[in-house]
A = this chain, B = another copy of it.
Amino acid sequence: MEQSSEPLGERLGYLLKHAYLRFAEESAAALEPYGIDGRELAVLAVLSAAYPLSQLEAAGRLGVDRTSMVAILDTLEAKGLVARRRSSEDRRKNIVELTDEGRDRLEKAERARDELERRFLAPLGEEGARSLTRALRALATAPEDAAPEA
């Protein structure tokens, strides 16, 4: 008597997890030459905004909590890619800014990430890649949070 369910490798949970894990693996490899990981790259990108951000603001935009942000910034600061300075307006706040090297690293690593995304999605074809991104966007956000697009 065979089980009625599909093979394990077809289950949605398995597929989502392994698609993510495989991307994470390739992402680590693609960013390795730049000495940062995906999370650090996201922080650098956030900090490249038009106006300077505090640690808490940066954390809020990335959906990480402030204690994690401390650790990430410690690492990035040790690498010389960001600099903290006390806000003169509110001395509780740290303003975090990219160093020149941080800006340079961001630009190069972003190119590598972009190239990786293209390579990773290549097997799907152009229309398939667009369709996947659209679907993931719909699924990644809980229905309650979903803001109707303008």
Interface residues of A (CB under 8 A from B): 1-5, 8-20, 22-24, 27, 38, 42, 45-46, 48-50, 61-62, 110, 113-114, 117, 120-121, 123-124, 128, 131-133, 135-143
Contacts and interface: CB of A to CB of B under 8 A. Distances in A.
A48 to B, nearest CB: 5
Main SS of the interface on chain A? helix
Q: Looking at A123, A136, A137, which has the most chain B CB atoms within 10 Å of its CB?
A: A136
Copy total for this chain: 2
A42 B62 CA distance: 32
B45 A15 contact: no
B45 A8 contact: yes
13 contacts: A2-B50, A3-B45, A12-B23, A13-B24, A15-B133, A17-B20, A18-B140, A23-B139, A120-B139, A123-B143, A124-B138, A132-B135, A135-B135
